[in-house]
A and B are shown apart, each in its own frame.
Chain A
Amino acid sequence: MAKLHIEPKQSEEGEDGAEFQVVEDEGILAWDADSELLVVGQSYPRLEGREKVTGRARYSSDVRLPGQLYARVLRSPYPHARIRNIDITKAEQSPGVHAVICAANVPRIAWYEESVLFDATVRLVGDEIAAVAAESDELAQDALRLIEVDYESLPFVTTIEEALRPDAPKVHDGGNIAGEPTTYERGDPESGLHEADVVVTGDFETPCALHNAFESHGCTASWEGDSLTLWDSTQAIFVVRQQVAEKLKMPEHRVRVIKQHMGGGFGAKQIPWKHDVIAALLSKQAGRPVQLLLDREAENMAAGNRNPTRQHVQLGAKRDGTLTAIVARIEQSAGAYRTGGEASNVSGTYQTLYRCPNVRTEQTAVYTNTGPAVAFRAPGHVEAAFALEQAMDELARALDLDPVALRRRNYAEVDQLEDKPFTLPEGLRLSYDRVTETFGWGERTAQPADSVKRRGVGFAAHDWSGGTGHPPGYAWIELNSDGTADVVTGTQDIGTGARTGLAQVAAEELGLPLANIAFQLGDTATGPYSPVSSGSATQATIGPALRAAAADVKAQLLEVASVVLEIGVGRLSVRDGRVLVDGDTERAIAVGEVMQKIAPHTLQARGARAPNPADMTIRTFGAQCVELEVDTETGEITVLRIVTAHDCGRIINPALVDSQVVGGVTQGVGFALSEERIVDTRLGIVLNANLEEYHVPTVADVPVIEHARVGVPDSAANSTGAKGIGEPPLIPTAPAIANAVFDAIGIRFRAGPLTRQRVLAALAARETNGSGEADS
């Protein structure tokens, strides 16, 4: 059994709110580099592969229940308005309509940090006003057109700059500063800049990017008496359960949340959104199941985005490249509301990526009358890396140093925030080594014969506070009487392959082939508590819990085998479905055969996630090299090749890790070159809340992407030695691309994405005034 004790809460790790933390350390020894693992480390195909390629995988939007209705939400056409009156009478009488809700007929339910479910003031185009459930989606739309709303339009702001003006219209009564600005300082940044031989200064802007997960936010809600079931497209079934229960004033055990498969989330589905409660209220009113799916426009207006930022950056260094100061002033747009979830800590990487005694970061979030921001795959770090890693490139050029050499010179051996060692201090160095060797960094780029096209190479590094995993997290395992095992968790596979990677950990520890495992997740009614799948945490959180449960079951199995075989437990082990006897290969016996001796009894155990080490910091690192070509007449950028290396600890499943890496880099290519929400600042309307003019990369935009695996187990981090890889690969891509563009054509792009518009405007500006600087 786990050693369980309770102590006052020490750190911010894990989830907020509790005053005490439960420490469950089962004393599982970490697998290290010498561990001989059979299942872990193999490229098994995804467990759900067959379901997904046959169209049988059931997503939340595929739920079909008897009598199911379809819901639509009426959304504000104004960026800021007071609602004087809503008349739903005609909508209620529209054919096929079974429920219509608005502020007048539902309880006042607090939402976000500043608002309610149906607020009398709407603060963005897309804010929820009312909702309809009807017998078909078409009939729901018909009814929506009949809802009459009397608006009083209010002045509004859509950009950071507008929001910060002293006389700006206020998004909320308290003004436009969202939460407390944060300041971090160590050493003496002014002195650091003063003593520098070279200072580079730059003002950077990152765009608002839209997640555009292919499955939009949505759920199906169904009541049986007082019990509610939600099939929700979420990264956090237990958070949704707790929040929905709280908002509907229900006990948690009367809310069941199910999510087996999900069409992407990328961070935007890590919090409960209004659709959950709206669907539940409509279903209650109608007395029938209700499915509510956001359409693409709503998804892109009102269900999260990567916050746009402005970053003023100064780096100071000695002639030999030693950093003397890092100063960053950051402004970010939270949109109309603060949604919670993983924070967009833009400051973080300035404080930690490089060794520097003198650092100051100031970070201010502002409200604007636009869609609320929410975590998007490495929130904050993607934005910061675009600025910091370009500034480092500028610094290297100013010092006439190789960009990689500059970074090696400023290698952070320890966590400078807490003055603690890293669990794998060589993680970033290994990434530098692997990526530069594989790419051939330092070799001259051959320029094409056509002088109109210029090639360049670029480099960028990253660190990331995610990927560490954390308690709590649990697993249950039952070893069946035929030697197969049911492995039960309450976690989520949001498309990453978590189901497979986690099952491999369980199979390894149990000593069973993967085929003898059934792995369960995604149902609050059948699995133990699991935290949100965000922060690249799932593998590193649930993996160790699975090992703990499996080790317990295995110990029980060996006790049984010991009796059955009349051999001391000390001589027994389990591997590949067989109980092995040390020194006597003849006596090996199948696990199923042992279990048959006690059938129909089964062996069961639970496992918990042990705490992270208190005296060390876990971090994930990586680095990327890019080669590309710029057509100086048409502004076209063609990325030719990206090599990327990441310290994600032990690689549980190489093929699936490669997929995560390549997928992240692909999103990075989009962030660098084409993805940008466009808002008309006079109308407050998102003009490209669609997949037509919001340009995610196509198959033809993706270069050769090579993952140069590092794969060194981080055995001090957790008992599996594996860290998360979901978020990191995206972080360095955009700055590496921008650095390569500078290398190719000598123009620095401090505002992204690098569209034809920006590239051609910068080339034309250089023609005119000879400047190598691009305006936004």
Chain B
Amino acid sequence: MGPHTHLPVTLSVNGSRFPLLIEPRRTLLDALRHDLALTGTKKVCDAGDCGACTVIVDGRAVYACLLLAVDCDDRDITTIEGLAKGNALDPVQEAFIQHDAFQCGFCTSGQIMSLRALLDANPEPSDDQILRAVTGNLCRCGAYLNILKAGRLAADMQRQAAADV
């Protein structure tokens, strides 16, 4: 294989399958942002130090900047673009708006994905579990206190919605 060998990869993102031919060194983050134009996932540090690129892979919140796209072949990937159902926002998204849980918005996708992964795994989290879920997501604007409030509200909203069904 030559130095610029491209490999076939199929990324399953937000329920759609995308066959791609990409260099092994391309990260999942760059594949999302460039090959799929899903720019909601942000690049901030590109080194696993900030959390802005958090996506959900096989049910777990992970950093897309430290995953190779070739390594994500056929794994189930959810990004911020995959949360809303049509015009209906995800409860976490709705709660972020209600509690003003963002300012510049650049860390927001990552924060929301971390909380979404938490609520998927644990629909009734404690306050401490909510806090721990976003310990891997820096927010330079300092919206943390509202992010925690939004996390609690989202859990309530999700519980309420489940009870209504």
Q: Chain A interface (Cβ within 8 Å of chain B)?
A: 45-46, 48-59, 61-62, 64, 95, 136-138, 212-216, 261-264, 266, 293, 295-296, 494-497, 655-656, 658-660, 662-667, 690-692, 696-700, 702, 704-705
Contacts and interface: CB of A to CB of B under 8 A. Distances in A.
B89 interface: yes
B72 interface: no
B104 A263 contact: yes
Contact of B80 (A54, A95, A662): A54
A492 B79 CA distance: 28
B104 A214 contact: yes
Contact of A53 (B33, B49, B89): B89
Given A50-B89, A296-B44, A691 B105 contact: no
7 contacts: A53-B112, A138-B30, A214-B107, A293-B43, A663-B143, A691-B47, A699-B135
Contact of A667 (B80, B107, B142): B142
B79 A55 contact: yes
Interface stretch (B91-99, B117-125, B155-163): B91-99
A138 B46 CA distance: 13
B52 interface: yes
Given A49-B96, A55-B80, A215 B104 contact: yes
Contacts of B21: none
Contact of A655 (B30, B100, B109, B141): B100
Given A61-B43, A214-B42, A662-B145, A696 B140 contact: yes
B127 to A, nearest CB: 12
B39 A214 contact: no
A133 to B, nearest CB: 15
| A295, A664, A698 — most chain B CB neighbours (10 Å) | A698
Given A48-B105, A264-B106, A691 B142 contact: no
Contacts of A690: 45, 47, 49
Contacts of A691: 44-45, 47, 49-50, 138
Interface in B17-65: 23, 25-26, 30, 33-34, 37-47, 49-50, 52
A59 B106 contact: yes
A213 B139 CA distance: 9
B47 A296 contact: yes
Nearest to B52: A214
B24 to A, nearest CB: 10
A212 B98 CA distance: 27
B71 interface: no
A212 B23 CA distance: 30
A656 B40 contact: no
B157 to A, nearest CB: 14
Contact of A55 (B41, B103, B131, B145): B41
Given A214-B52, A691-B49, A138 B25 contact: yes
B134 A53 contact: no
Nearest to A659: B100
A53 B39 contact: no
A495 B145 contact: no
A296 B45 contact: yes
Q: What 10 A-B pairs come out closest when comparing CB atoms?
A: A55-B40, A666-B142, A495-B104, A263-B106, A663-B142, A52-B105, A55-B80, A62-B39, A691-B49, A214-B106
A56 B33 CA distance: 12
Contacts of A658: 100
A702 B144 CA distance: 8
Given A49-B96, A138-B30, A658-B100, 16 more contacts: A45-B97, A50-B89, A52-B108, A54-B83, A55-B38, A55-B41, A55-B81, A57-B105, A214-B50, A215-B44, A264-B103, A495-B105, A666-B144, A691-B47, A696-B140, A702-B145
A565 to B, nearest CB: 39
B148 interface: yes
Contacts of B13: none
B146 interface: yes
A48 B108 CA distance: 13
Interface size class of B (residues with CB under 8 A): 35 or more
Which residue of A49, A56, A494 has the most chain B CB atoms within 10 A of its CB atom? Answer: A49
Nearest to A693: B49
B96 A53 contact: yes
B66 interface: no
Contacts of B83: 54
A324 B102 CA distance: 45
Contacts of B26: 138
A701 to B, nearest CB: 8
A95 B3 CA distance: 11
Interface centre among A54, A64, A497, A690 (most CB of B within 10 A): A54
Nearest to B112: A53
Contacts of A138: 23, 25-26, 30
B56 to A, nearest CB: 13
Contacts of B80: 53-55
Contacts of B96: 49, 53
Nearest to A64: B37
B79 to A, nearest CB: 7
Contacts of B100: 45-46, 497, 655-656, 658-659
Nearest to A45: B97
B84 interface: yes
A765 B25 CA distance: 51
Contact of B103 (A50, A56, A59, A495): A495
Nearest to A49: B97
B46 A295 contact: yes
B61 to A, nearest CB: 14
B44 A495 contact: no
A64 B39 CA distance: 9
A665 B104 CA distance: 16
A702 B131 CA distance: 11
B7 to A, nearest CB: 14
Nearest to A706: B145
B129 to A, nearest CB: 13
B147 interface: yes
Nearest to B151: A699
A700 B33 CA distance: 30
Contacts of A58: 39
Contacts of B39: 55, 58-59, 61-62, 64
A659 B98 CA distance: 13
Nearest to B33: A62
Contacts of B109: 55
Nearest to A699: B144
A496 B143 CA distance: 11
B123 to A, nearest CB: 20
Contacts of A699: 131, 134-135, 137, 139, 144, 147-148
A137 B108 contact: no
B5 to A, nearest CB: 13
A339 to B, nearest CB: 21
Contacts of A216: 44
Contacts of B42: 59, 61, 214-215, 263
A663 B142 CA distance: 4
A495 B141 contact: yes
Q: Which of B26, B138, B145, B147: most chain A CB closer than 10 A?
A: B145
Given A45-B97, A214-B104, A700 B135 contact: yes
B142 A698 contact: no
B6 to A, nearest CB: 11
Contact of B40 (A56, A495, A662, A700): A56
Contacts of A295: 46
A453 to B, nearest CB: 21
B106 A54 contact: no
Contacts of B33: 62
Given A264-B141, A692-B47, A699-B148, A215 B40 contact: no
A556 to B, nearest CB: 35
A218 B34 CA distance: 16
